[in-house]
Amino acid sequence: MRSGSPWLTAAIVVAALALLPVAALLFAALHGDGSLWPHLLRYVLPPALHDTLLLLAGVGVLVIALGTGSAWLVTAYDFRGRRIFEWALLLPLAVPTYIMAYAWMDLLHPIGPLQSGLRAMLGLAGPQDLRLPDVRSLPGCALVLGFVLYPYVYLTTRAMFLMQAASLLEAARTLGQGPRAVFLRVALPLARPAIAVGTSLALMETLNDIGASELLGVRTFTVSIYSTWVNRADLAGAAQIALAMLAVVVALLVVERAARRRQRYAVAAQKSRRMTPQRLTGGRAAAAIGALALPVLLGFVAPFCYLAARAVERVRFAGFPEGLVQVTLDTLKLSAIATLITVLAAMAVVYALRLRPGALAGGSERIATLGYAIPGAVLGIGLLAPLGAMDDGLATLIETLTGRPVTGLLLLGSSIGLIYAYATRFLAVAAGNLEAGFGRIAPALDHAGRTLGETAGGVLRRIHLPLMRPALAAATLLVFVDCMKELPATLLLRPLNVETLATHLYAEAIRGTYEDGVIAALLIIAAGLLPVILLSRVDGRQND
């Protein structure tokens, strides 16, 4: 057997399992009742497409403006507090979109703290005298999502700005270009690929969102999929809507690739000198601080402080919510199992490519990592049919072997389907970090280990794993937190007797019992802060 063949076989199996939900989705959609399509085309798809496209446009404009503007300010200028903003601008990544919506719905309620405080300051009597625009709207949803997701653009664009050679920007200044012209005519065009990548990630997260969209009254594709399956028990209809949503995802990816297709960039052989940030003082420094403080305040500080205050109030007067400890334990258990499986699967895929580089291993990796571009609701619907078929096969096998009939669901009634969805969706996160870790290890070490008689598994265990512990730790942490936060797939596939922190919070928000959900929200945010801290430290070391 050639070197690496077992790993290549494992990579092909992982890719096939990752592709199974999409294939099942296509089968369910094409073999559904054809009479449903006229209803979908007339009543479901047009409003879903309308709201989804408008939401994507609003979020796209906002994340580009906030992410690109903040990245340029902290890169091109120096002022008091700049170092703090470099990492503080990442904090909204710790807040899932549905928690952001949950917090701002309560904050901006007509009798909530902000509007009540504003009326008290103005001496007005009640909501009828002053009422701000309702956050439960499509513009409100776009604002909420934009202030959570802009760090995707900030991260990629700031990295690109830091890579730009100082000579290019200084040449523009010597030709008489002012700061605005240097940004618009030199720095911004060079950063377009990074902006496109960051924006596409933010828009993928927008498509995956269900909690914020439903809470804020926006009927996106994801909300339509969930309501069609849960409220109408119509798998074929949900699959057909999911197929239309998948077409939107593919269109986004095509547009993003086309936007960067003709752009080519070259760098000098020698390391480029980075630009020296220009010092800002007085009113300009205050304006920069205000512009950077706004997304941090609205995207993290305000909702976090409000939730913390409500949580303290809830515990003081009613104690710790009953059953939340069990919900937390279930969440940690599911996330830990899914993380272990995901990281192992990603290791198989990435290591197979290192051992046997070629079309087969490369194609397996690309297919296996497609799940991150597929929204959780689409994955959930795609897994229902194959898991149901596996249930039938297992029941028949058990009945044949034991002679006893099997009642109930075996896979769909357990956490296996949910863990499968987690692993498929977040395998790309683990694979990206592991691939970066392997990239820092010279191939000569592999050859030396094999020359000394080690197998491929022995080289991995005794050479690679000790050297790539930081990458492995980062992959594990990021996947674990993503599993804790995932809502759409969890709503569709979780067992009936199992709640996670995300579904618990969602249920409390739907019922309107906000005070019982704030502690779950804080626990999710606390878990989300861990990768943000890790990301800020890694980013700081790379940019020093």
Domains annotated for the chain, with CATH where assigned, are 1-21+324-493 (1.10.3720.10), 32-260+279-303 (1.10.3720.10)
Q: Which residues contact 334 (CB under 8 A, 6 or more apart)?
A: 415, 418, 419, 422, 483, 498, 500
Please give the structure tokens belonging to residue 185.
Answer: 């005519």
Contact assessment for residue 35 and residue 46, using Cβ atoms and an 8 Å cutoff? no
**CA neighbor of 154 nearest in space, from 192, 198, 93, 186:** 198
Structure confidence at residue 68 (pLDDT)? 92
**Per-residue pLDDT at 267:** 46
Cα distance between residue 90 and residue 103, in whole Å = 19
Rounded to whole angstroms, the Cα distance separating 61 from 302 reads: 22
| pLDDT, mean of each 10-residue run, the chain (544 residues) | 72 90 77 64 80 91 93 87 88 87 83 78 72 84 93 84 62 61 69 80 84 84 75 68 75 67 50 66 89 93 89 81 85 92 92 86 84 78 81 79 70 81 88 81 81 80 83 83 86 83 84 76 85 67 52
pLDDT value, residue 301: 92
The predicted pLDDT at position 282 comes to 85
Q: What pLDDT does 159 receive?
A: 76
Q: What six digits make up the tokens of 343?
A: 């990281």
β-partners of residue 165 are 274
Residue type, 220: T
Q: For residues 281 and 287, what is the distance between their CA atoms, to the nearest angstrom?
A: 10
Task: Report the C-alpha gap between 74 and 96 in whole angstroms.
Answer: 25
- Rounded to an integer, what distance in angstroms lies between the CA atom of residue 399 and that of residue 421? 28
pLDDT at 268 (0 to 100): 47
Alpha helices, DSSP H only, in 416-516? 416-439, 443-451, 456-459, 465-467, 469-485, 488-493, 501-511
Please report the pLDDT score of residue 345 as a whole number.
94
Phi/psi for 296 (5° steps) reads -65, -40
pLDDT for res 181: 66
Angle at 333 between CA 329 and CA 338, to 5 degrees: 150
Q: Cα separation of 379 and 381, whole Å? A: 6
